[in-house]
Amino acid sequence: MAGAYQTGIYRNVLKECGYEETAITERLEQTFETIFYGTEAERFYHEAGDDMAYLEDTGNHDVRTEGMSYGMMVCVQLDKKAEFDRLWKWVRTYMYIPEGPCRNYFAWSCSTDGTHNAEGPAPDGEEYFAMALFFASARWGDGEGIFAYSKEAKAILRECIHKGEPGHPGEPMWEPSNHLIKFVTNMDFSDPSYHLPHFYELFAENAEEGDREFWKQAAAASREYLHKACHKETGLSAEYADYDGTPHAGHQEIFGRHDWYYSDAYRTIANIAMDHLWYDKDPWQTEIANRLQKFYCEEQREHWDGVFLIDGTRLEEKALHPVAIVAVNAQAALAADGSHVKECVDRFWNTPLRTGDRRYYDNFLYLFAMLALSGNYRIYRK
């Protein structure tokens, strides 16, 4: 077994499925251009002043660390340094928390004018910020101040795992006893879609020396956790899950229902596929990707817009993000080797970007799928 980390080979699954390379390149560029520079009804990237920009969650009309970190990852993958720096400066100017128990974290939600809507972080933002910054350092070199990318990334990771220790007030983002990422810092459960073992492998090379063993253990712990969180027959995971992988049914009075396969959870299979592409350390990833594609293509062929319990029980609700489902089912092809790969990829290719108020989440997952399936979601190392 050898992933792209060892081989340097990034599969172009779209080409493998019969699409022309020029058409693939054009679609990828067009997707980026639409999201960043399309019409007011299409884009959600907005420049702010001379040297900053933000990405709006068009469904909630705010700016989230999720979207800002996704945007930075997209930009470093596509060699868009100017946009990357604009986004990062907005993050450091408005989202950074300078004091208190969340010091050196980032407020997970802000208004588009930079006002905080929350005073706490969401761990998925921090892990994407750190990885995007390390890639920026490798691809473009470190600059000065906040643009000393690798220094900023190391500082983020240091806070994530050392808070709660003597001299470090606050709550860590990873549970120290089991190396699992938390959904939020002050609660003892996780979100399967936050688990990025392929990132942690790279953190183990790039973080401060004393933290590297932690990240090696975190990568192993997350791979093990995903076995528990994904249903063995359907491949589906819950949005929130306890540390044993069981769907988390609590806290509904605060967050609403999240023990089902719904919005957050779609990212889980995409992340598993990326870990397989980059590292190929776990044969189970192929099995679970095959099962998820089989579930949709055989058992729920007419109900891709459905909402499910992780055992496959279909509920009355409809998915809030149907294009995202199509995107991740296709991205699963990076790990899958079953009979439904081409069907899932074709369905993705024939699905346009989403329009309307909910386009932000769907179109980001669409763009990530385009990057990954075209061989352009890559590791950058010095």
Beta strands in the chain (DSSP E): 45-48, 52-57, 62-64, 109-110, 174-175, 180-181, 306-308, 314-318
Whether 264 is a known active-site residue: answer yes
**Distance of alpha carbon 217 from alpha carbon 196, whole angstroms:** 12
Contacts of 346 (CB under 8 A, 6+ apart): 17
264, 275, 280, 362: the catalytic one is 264
Number of Cβ atoms within 10 Å of the Cβ of 244: 11
Residues in the chain: 382
- C-beta separation of 107 from 95 below 8 A: yes
66, 124, 275, 343: the catalytic one is 66
Q: What is the DSSP string of 8-58?
A: -----HHHHTT--HHHHHHHHHHHHHHHHHS-TTT--EEEETTTEEEEEET
**Distance of alpha carbon 120 from alpha carbon 102, whole angstroms:** 6
C-alpha distances in Å from residue 196, one per residue of 52, 127, 200 = 28, 8, 7
Q: Which amino acid is at 242?
A: D
Whether 66 is a known active-site residue: answer yes
Q: Which helix (H) or strand (E) holds 151?
A: helix 149-162
**Distance of alpha carbon 8 from alpha carbon 17, whole angstroms:** 21
Both structure tokens of 140: 């473009």
Beta-bridge partner residues of 80: none
Burial per residue of 122-145, b for 16 or more beta-carbon CB atoms within 10 angstroms, e otherwise? bbbbbbbbbbbbbbbbbbbebeee
* Active-site residue list: 66, 264
